[in-house]
Amino acid sequence: MNQVFSRPESLKDVQTHFCPGCQHGTIHRLVAEAMDEFGIRDRTIGIASVGCSVFLYSYFDIDVVEAPHGRAPAVATGAKRARPDKIVFTYQGDGDLAAIGTSEIIHAANRGEAITVIFVNNTTYGMTGGQMAPTTMPGQKTSTSPYGRDIKNDGAPFKMAELLSNLDGVAFSARVAVNSPKNVLQARKMIKTAFQYQVEGKGFSFIEALSTCPTNWGMNPLQANQRLADEMIPYFPLNVFKNSENL
Amino acid sequence: MRHDVFISGYGGQGVLLAGNLLSYAAIHEGLNVSFFPSYGVEKRGGSAMCTIVFSDGDTGSPVVGHPSVSVILNQLSFDKYAAKVKPGGICIVNSSLVECDGVELPEVELVKVPMNRIALELEDIRMLNMVACGAYVAKTGALKITSLEEALKKALPERNHRLIPANVKAIRAGAVAAG
Amino acid sequence: MSEKLFVKGNEAVAMAAIEAGVRCYFGYPITPQSDIPEYLSRELPKNGGTFIQAESEIGAINMVLGASAAGVRAMTSSSGPGISLKQEGISYMAGSELPGVIVDIMRQGPGLGGIDASQADYWQATRGGGHGGYRIIVLAPASVQEMYDLTMLAFDLSDLYRIPAMVLADSVIGQMKESIVANPRPQVELPAKEWAVRGRKAGEPQNVVKSLKLGDGEMEAFHWAMLDRYKVLAENENRWEELLTDDAELIVTAFGSTARISRTAVAMAREAGMKVGLLRPITLFPFPARAYLSLSQRCKRFLDIELSTGQMIDDVRLSVARDADVAFYGRPPGAGSLPTPEEIFEQIRKVYP
């Protein structure tokens, strides 16, 4: 019998702690598939960040360094410069990367560090209980924006994939979503391309993956998926913003 | 044996180069050296000072409250630091720029050397720090003139080695003036 | 004996780091330590190493964390305000049991303070500095030669004990030039870094470098294990220098620059016929408590000298015999507040029994 579906080798055979309807699991899987496809698991170093993504080492069957909140791109810089032959990627949430870690991400990107950054944008701080994130949508209610995000008070959401694509050091920047089979297939392709940039030594690659947080959004998984399609994608368009080598 | 010397002037007079030269000369003689620079907060034109301690044993404190010898290159430094020389010590003064006629430093030997004038006679005002170094070694005998001449190779950057003969001349002129 | 070089304290740190095999330096400019990144930006690439001027002190220390996790020797350097920023990363390194060398060329504080010499980072350095309860190895050079030698020692001790190590000096020691011998790296047997992330091969265990410890009892066990390690460190690695203590009736104690100034004050006291000695801690953590205890069995009077209103004096008082008396003379750091040997000699006169 032909086996058509199996767990990627780079993922451990364990249950995740992610909430029902959370899309971290899908994004993890796509990252693992890219690693399997390039056969780089045995030379990959993952950099975990602070937030729901901190348990990277529990799910990926690879060596991992846990970074302080927001500092994953700096930790990745150190690891990659120390071991240029390794594949180094960070996996960060929106609070981590786009709030406390803006300095680290922008400078790592601007230096053109040969790393891959997977940025998961679910418009909220998940682990700490649904506070306002730098990517929280205008009008979105969170536990620290109970009247809805007011852009006069809080500024507008960061569009990181677009912002970083303006830096000369960035070789590849794309935004993806995993809310539908079609988008999953596209996301798989983009994540693979991001790793291909690093495997081929072609510079800094960035993936912004839109994701759901049903628990903190106060929705069931289907409603959350619908919100992603109806509200997030129009505001955070899915696109390739930079593909300097046309890979 | 342990010697300490304090050199002070304004930025541009070559205070730190003089300190480096004496340090290299002491190392040439197999001694241990501490060279402690200090500056005013200005990046240009402020005051420049350094203390050099050299010894065949422990150099001890790089900071000296009352130096046994001070080399004073300008008026401001004289007014501020001349009185700090310790009793029995020597104060070598650039008398071209420092008005010290009639000034008494109790128990301190005041040695007046017109450093600017000597340097100008050698047709290079920049040599006044070398004149000062020559005066220092001639007056104290703490280091050999030949060690200073040897030390020029290390204290001066390679590109200025062509100036070594002129520096040697200035050191000797300073020594003659103080001796 | 090899030829004597004439170098600045800060340069000696950089030279020693290269001799010790540092592969990565990450830093950010701040006076009075910028000679270190300047030297390494020039020399480290020639030796096949990496130099990055980071976006911030926080970026720099986290690059050290990443490089060290990958198993290479890595370092950073700064001064007071920058060291405060680095505390986040130092705490994570301590929690992750990562080696790494941090150099603090102390300047005045608090806040922006000023660039003159200070010893007021003593507490920050010796008490861990960041959150969570930990210690780091702290070495206090008092000469340019020691800036060189102790920087190499910092790398070895840090690797040996998997504890971050700090070289704690100030702008007197960092900016002065002295004749030194550039000793070769000492031969020390160090354990292989089997814990480093390297890309996990099939059949090898997964290496994870982390400070998050959520398991029942996991964090408590970590703290007890670290306490045991600190005890071994204190047992094996205490370093101090004694000068003329055998017959001393007063022992002056100071570290770093004030110890240097005190040496001459002690010599002045001896010339004046007073039996005065000097005890200089070289390791500030572990603090050489046993040297104080042993000397204070006989000599009951100590004089602690610091460029602060008194920080190390806490450790001195905790270390001496109960019936010993510890006097203090400090100058809070600042322009014009560097004490002279003559000034310390006056203090010796005042407290000499």
What does the pLDDT look like over A37-74, one tens digit per residue?
999 999 999 999 999 989 999 999 999 999 999 999 99
Say yes or no: A117 contacts chain C, CB-CB below 8 A: no
Residue C2, pLDDT > 80, answer: no
Domain identity same for C101 and C171:
yes
C-alpha A76/C-alpha C316 separation (Å) is 42
Residue C104, pLDDT > 90, answer: yes
pLDDT digits (tens, 9 = 90+) for A185-229: 999 999 999 999 999 999 999 999 999 999 999 999 999 999 999
Mean pLDDT computed over C212-219: 96
Interchain pair C176, B58: CB under 8 A: no
**CATH at B146:** 3.40.920.10
Domains of chain A, by residue range, sit at: 24-243
Q: Which residue has the tokens 């903190």?
A: A216
Residue C1, pLDDT > 50, answer: no
Cα atoms found within 13 Å of the Cα of residue B24, Cβ hemisphere only: 18
pLDDT digits (tens, 9 = 90+) for C229-268: 999 999 999 999 999 999 999 999 999 999 999 999 999 9
Q: Above pLDDT 90, what percent of chain C? A: 96
- The one-letter code for the residue type at A11 is L
Residue C295, pLDDT > 70, answer: yes
Q: Residue C214: inside a domain, yes or no? A: no
* Element of type H or E holding C177: strand C177-181
Say yes or no: C262 contacts chain B, CB-CB below 8 A: yes
pLDDT digits (tens, 9 = 90+) for A137-187: 999 999 999 999 999 999 999 999 999 999 999 999 999 999 999 999 999
Domain identity same for C30 and C159:
yes
Interchain pair C210, A64: CB under 8 A: yes
Which of the residues C178, C244, C278 would you substitute to probe the B interface, choosing the one with the greatest number of B C-beta atoms within 10 Å? C178
Which of the residues C173, C175, C179 would you substitute to probe the B interface, choosing the one with the greatest number of B C-beta atoms within 10 Å? C179
Parallel, antiparallel or unpaired: strands C4-8 and C24-27: unpaired
3-state secondary structure of B56: coil
In order of B7, B41, B47, the CA distances from B11 in angstroms are: 12, 11, 5
Per the structure block, which two tokens stand in for C213? 């410890």
Total number of domains constituting chain C:
2
**CATH at C310:** 3.40.50.920
Say yes or no: C193 contacts chain B, CB-CB below 8 A: no
Q: Provide the pLDDT for residue B39.
A: 67
Q: Residue C100: inside a domain, yes or no? A: yes
Chain B residue with the nearest C-alpha to that of C179: B33
Residue A226 CB contacts under 8 Å (≥ 6 apart), including other chains: none
Work out the mean pLDDT of chain A and round it to a whole number: 97
Q: How many residues does chain C have?
A: 353
Q: Provide the pLDDT for residue B46.
A: 76
Q: Provide the pLDDT for residue B44.
A: 56
Per the structure block, which two tokens stand in for B97? 């720029």
Q: Residue C294: inside a domain, yes or no? A: yes
Backbone φ and ψ of C161, nearest 5°: -100, -5
Q: Residue C270: inside a domain, yes or no? A: yes
Domain identity same for C15 and C101:
yes
Domain identity same for C160 and C248:
no
Chain C residue with the nearest C-alpha to that of B4: C264
- Cα A79–A85–A91 angle (5° rounding)? 45
Q: Provide the pLDDT for residue C32.
A: 94
Per-state percent for chain A, helix, strand, coil, to nearest 5: 40, 20, 40
Of C59, C69, C209, the CB nearest to A107: C59
C-alpha A53/C-alpha C286 separation (Å) is 37
Of B26, B36, B64, the CB nearest to C176: B36
Q: Residue C81: inside a domain, yes or no? A: yes
Interchain pair C206, A76: CB under 8 A: no
Total number of domains constituting chain B:
1
- Cα C229–C232–C236 angle (5° rounding)? 140
Which strands make up the sheet holding C101-106, listed edge to edge?
Answer: C50-53, C24-27, C74-78, C101-106, C165-170, C137-139, C283-285
pLDDT digits (tens, 9 = 90+) for A12-45: 999 999 999 999 999 999 999 999 999 999 999 9
Mean pLDDT computed over A79-95: 98
Of A42, A54, A103, the CB nearest to C199: A42
Whether residue A117 contacts residue A165, with contact meaning beta carbons closer than 8 Å, is answered with no
Shortest Cα distance, chain C CAs vs residue B112, angstroms: 27
State the fold for domain A24-243: Rossmann fold (3.40.50)
Q: Provide the pLDDT for residue A95.
A: 96
ipTM for the complex? 0.94
C-alpha A189/C-alpha A202 separation (Å) is 17
- Residue B93's domain comprises 2-178
Q: Which residue has the tokens 């890979």?
A: A247
**Between chain B and chain C, are at least 3 CB pairs below 8 A?**
yes
Which of the residues A17, A65, A90 would you substitute to probe the C interface, choosing the one with the greatest number of C C-beta atoms within 10 Å? A65
Residues forming a β-bridge with C252: C278, C303
C-alpha C185/C-alpha C183 separation (Å) is 7
Instruction: Give contacts of C60 with chain A, Cβ < 8 Å.
Output: 74
Mean pLDDT by runs of 10 across the 179 residues of chain B is 96 94 97 88 72 96 96 95 95 96 91 97 96 98 97 96 97 95
Say yes or no: C177 contacts chain B, CB-CB below 8 A: yes
Q: Above pLDDT 70, what percent of chain C? A: 99
- Residue C278's domain comprises 240-351
Whether residue A78 contacts residue C63, with contact meaning beta carbons closer than 8 Å, is answered with yes
C-alpha A114/C-alpha C195 separation (Å) is 24
In order of A29, B62, C10, C174, the CA distances from C33 in angstroms are: 46, 19, 7, 7
In order of A15, C298, C299, C300, C343, the CA distances from C351 in angstroms are: 70, 17, 13, 12, 13
Per the structure block, which two tokens stand in for A116? 């891959």
Considering the entire predicted model, what is its pTM?
Answer: 0.95
Chain A residue with the nearest C-alpha to that of C59: A74
Instruction: Give contacts of C54 with chain A, Cβ < 8 Å.
Output: 74, 107
Of A42, A77, A106, the CB nearest to C63: A77
Of C159, C181, C203, which residue is a domain's last?
C181
